[in-house]
Amino acid sequence: MEDATKKDEKDGSGDAGAFSCPSPVQQYDSVLLAHGGGGRLTHQLIEQVFLQAYGNPLTEERHDGAVFELPAGRFAFTTDSYVIRPLFFPGGDIGELAVNGTVNDLAMCGARPLYLSAGFVIEEGLPMDTLRRVAASMQRAASRAGVRLVTGDTKVVDRGKGDGVYINTAGIGQVVAPRRVAPSSVMPGDAIVLSGDIGRHGIAIMAVREGLEFESVIESDCAPVSEPVLALLEAGVEVHCLRDLTRGGLASTLVEIAEATRLRCEIEEEAIPVREDVRGACEILGFDPLYVANEGRFAAFVPGREAGRALDILRRHPVCESAQIVGRVTGGGKDEVGERGGTGAGRAGAVTLRSRIGAMRVVDMISGEQLPRIC
Amino acid sequence: MKHIDEYRDGAAARALAAAIRKLVTRPWTVMEICGGQTHSIVKYGIDQLLPASVTLVHGPGCPVCVTPLELVEKAIEIASRPEVTFCSFGDMLRVPGVSRDLLSVKAAGGDVRIVYSPLDAVKVAAENPRREVVFFAVGFETTAPAVAMAVLQAAHLRLGNFSLLVSHVLVPPAMEAILSSPDNRVQGFLAAGHVCAVMGYEEYGPIAARHRVPIVVTGFEPVDILQGVHLCLRQLEEGRAEVENQYARSVRREGNLAAQRPVREVFRVTPRKWRGVGEIPQSGLGLREAYAAFDAERRFGLADRRSEEPPECISGQILRGVKRPGDCPAFGVRCVPEHPLGAPMVSSEGACAAYYRYRN
């Protein structure tokens, strides 16, 4: 990293001093299309922004890709793209999101995150400072999660063709779980452990985007969850499945699992932690917190007998301090719910919720996005 | 949350349900007018706590659902114009017109925006003097005061680029229409708490007396609704037909006079077509002549458009409480939230959407 900085300084001042005609502008306050052209400006952008933020021995080579050795074993490999408006929001920013999201996807595979790539699609005119802040934030998030950013790419698109910057990250991690952590491992009798209160990220974004003001600022829950997940696995908890609750929220995640396994997930409304301010915001907007996005929350499926121990381990980590057992998995069964006479609600592959007043209902995936209601 | 948690208390709800079971000796059919109440009933499973002899039917109190197709078509036509910035409450965007919805207009490049308050649309108009800013004014008595305030504000600012596509409807005439219908089966009403918070409940006395139906002004939380049902059933069992107020923590007899004032200033009562139901006399609000300059239908010359409903959708019967979503052959098959045939499948307050989401 230090080397890269020195090299840039030398390049900039050296070029300016060597010619008598007016030197081309080398330092721009914002990103130009030319920064994506593959020439000197591209090189400068990479050196001065990205490598300065997260250069490491593997990026020193300045090669087309990172070359490294991996220990023996099984690996998880994942990718995700991050598109968010605004780029900076209470509790996080797109850079942090891009690192944590991929780190969390690896953790959900029962893997320890090792290396990430980062691809940027930058909109012409994005202030250079913004890009620097994003890159610095990615480095902080990577350090926090114990993962290294080792390769990347940048492209620049015309002004008006992107929301500032889009980031894609891909990641590789070593699987540490001794058993297969996947929907197919979920069994009747499993407990559903929720890693913390839900709905904060979605409401934080909504509040900024729509200019809604609440008594206190609601911050996103954006965070890496690899540490508590690895703690579960290292303690020998028999983890059957892990899922992070991003878009679509807890409800959509559970529906996916139930549909994939043809089992039933039964959850208790009262057990699901939702912070007071998030509940208030959801009441105002007409949103159901079950469907609101999270960026640092997951559901763990563990055998019922292991649930208490799993909860104890999770709660030792600040990111999981409000973890709760919210339900269980059963083997399907006959229709118990529904408009008198039933509408197939009790079918296998469904999620049911016991409401606060004790009645059962089906939890389905939402169609499209939640839209604020009229009255 | 104060004023909410105590009305979602499981023990209180079960105690009320037990009291209802003890009270009821005969089958009764009660309609909750408001879509918000329908949503609570289905979401919390309130009907499951009631004895089988008590039937709750869902009323027309979903503003999205009753907005007539031709108005949705007009909205789509206006929103498609290049000079227009079209502002709407969120749940109107997915309501199907004849062939597309406002979301498709947005996808095709139309400037369609979700706003939370009609006053936000006035702000957009003030900030963008070169744009024609149109607000889709949909709703019951609850949203009318804010819309009226928006018109007064726009008049005060002398905004020449702001107008409204008005589809405001009134609850009491709809109750009257349901009770007068030959296939009516409603024996008692839960009146909509929020509407009454604005308008009060004096207008319900004559309806209760004329049609011999109890009307209970009711809130939206599970305990509110069970209390409302309990009060309504007690009247039915005792042969009374009066107006009672369960939602006294928010509703006064005369309503909110300060909110009523701008509504009277800006609007006059007009006949209005309800989607799936047809025209109901004196059931809507239209801009008074003094504010006609803010009428988008006039501004864009769309006053005479007419559209027909898809024949397969039985939303009219659903909205009058004659049928329930499960009675419709298209429900959950050809009509789902992704491809709605009618508006009750769209809005979060629509009966079909509530059943699809929580029961299907």
pLDDT digits (tens, 9 = 90+) for B227-270: 999 999 999 999 999 999 999 999 999 999 999 999 999 999 99
Residue of chain B whose Cα is closest to the Cα of A270: B10
Q: Which of residues 201-220 of A touch B (CB under 8 A)?
A: 210, 212
Across the interface, of B48, B64, B324, the residue whose CB is closest to A374 is B64
Residue B38 lies in a domain: yes
Contact B63 A357 (CB under 8 A): no
The Cα of A306 is separated from the nearest Cα of chain B by a number of Å equal to: 29
Assess whether B156 and B277 both reside in one domain: yes
Predicted ipTM beyond 0.90: no
Does A25 contact chain B (CB < 8 Å)? no
Assess whether B166 and B75 both reside in one domain: yes
Does B58 contact chain A (CB < 8 Å)? no
- As a whole-number percent, the residues of chain B with pLDDT over 70 amount to 99
Of A315-319, A323-327, B57-61, B151-155, give the lowest mean pLDDT range: B57-61
CATH number at residue B227: 3.40.50.11750
The pLDDT assigned to A349 comes to 86
Residue of chain A whose Cα is closest to the Cα of B359: A338
Contact B45 A344 (CB under 8 A): no
Q: What is the pLDDT of residues B16-46, one digit of tens each?
A: 999 999 999 999 999 999 999 998 999 899 9
Domains of chain A with bracketed CATH: 31-65+72-175 (3.30.1330.10), 183-335+342-363 (3.90.650.10)
Contact (CB, 8 A) for A155 and A45: no
Total-model pTM? 0.82
Assess whether B265 and B128 both reside in one domain: yes
Assess whether B164 and B280 both reside in one domain: yes
Alpha helices in B162-243 (DSSP H): 171-180, 193-199, 204-211, 222-238
State yes or no: pLDDT of B123 exceeds 70.
Answer: yes
Assess whether B327 and B190 both reside in one domain: no
The pLDDT assigned to A332 comes to 64
Assess whether B148 and B209 both reside in one domain: no
Assess whether B152 and B111 both reside in one domain: yes
Does B142 contact chain A (CB < 8 Å)? yes
Contact A374 B139 (CB under 8 A): yes
Contact A374 B336 (CB under 8 A): no
The Cα of A345 is separated from the nearest Cα of chain B by a number of Å equal to: 6
Alpha-carbon distances, residue A140 vs A89, A93, A147, A225 (angstroms): 16, 12, 10, 15
Contact B1 A276 (CB under 8 A): yes
**Which residues in B lie closer than 8 A to residue A344 (C-beta atoms)?**
360
State yes or no: pLDDT of B305 exceeds 50.
Answer: yes
Spans in chain A with pLDDT lower than 50 = 1-18, 334-345
CA–CA dist B152, B287 (Å, integer): 11
Cis bond upstream, residue A86 (ω within 30): yes
Assess whether B152 and B27 both reside in one domain: no
CA–CA dist A181, A298 (Å, integer): 13
- Which one has a higher pLDDT value, A136 or B349? A136
Contact A364 B222 (CB under 8 A): no
Residues B134-141: what's their mean pLDDT? 95
Does A344 contact chain B (CB < 8 Å)? yes
Assess whether B332 and B218 both reside in one domain: no
Residue B30 lies in a domain: yes
Contact (CB, 8 A) for A82 and A101: yes
The Cα of B143 is separated from the nearest Cα of chain A by a number of Å equal to: 7
Query: What three-state secondary structure class fits A304?
Result: helix
The pLDDT assigned to A334 comes to 47
What number of C-beta contacts closer than 8 Å exist between A and B?
Answer: 116
Query: E strands of chain B, at which residues?
Result: 28-34, 54-61, 84-88, 111-114, 132-139, 162-169, 188-192, 215-218, 243-245, 267-274, 278-287
The Cα of A317 is separated from the nearest Cα of chain B by a number of Å equal to: 27
Q: Supply B193's token pair.
A: 């708490």
Residue B106 lies in a domain: yes
The Cα of A346 is separated from the nearest Cα of chain B by a number of Å equal to: 10
The pLDDT assigned to A183 comes to 95
Domain termination site, one of B221, B245, B269:
B245
* Long-range Cβ contact pairs of B122-130 (< 8 A, separation 24 or more): B122/B150, B122/B153, B122/B154, B122/B157, B122/B159, B122/B162, B124/B85, B124/B87, B125/B154, B125/B159, B125/B161, B125/B162, B126/B157, B126/B159, B128/B85, B128/B161, B129/B161, B130/B161
The pLDDT assigned to A3 comes to 40
Residue B179 lies in a domain: no
State how many domains chain B has. 3
Q: Which of residues 86-105 of B touch A (CB under 8 A)?
A: 89-94
Assess whether B131 and B141 both reside in one domain: yes
Residue B176 lies in a domain: no
Contact B48 A283 (CB under 8 A): no
The Cα of A366 is separated from the nearest Cα of chain B by a number of Å equal to: 8
Assess whether B23 and B96 both reside in one domain: no
CA–CA dist B129, B212 (Å, integer): 54
Residue B250 lies in a domain: no
Assess whether B239 and B105 both reside in one domain: no
- Domain of residue B340, residue span: 315-359
Residues B159-169: what's their mean pLDDT? 96
Of A298-312, B238-252, B305-319, B328-342, give the lowest mean pLDDT range: B305-319
Which single residue is written with the structure tokens 């969120």?
B90
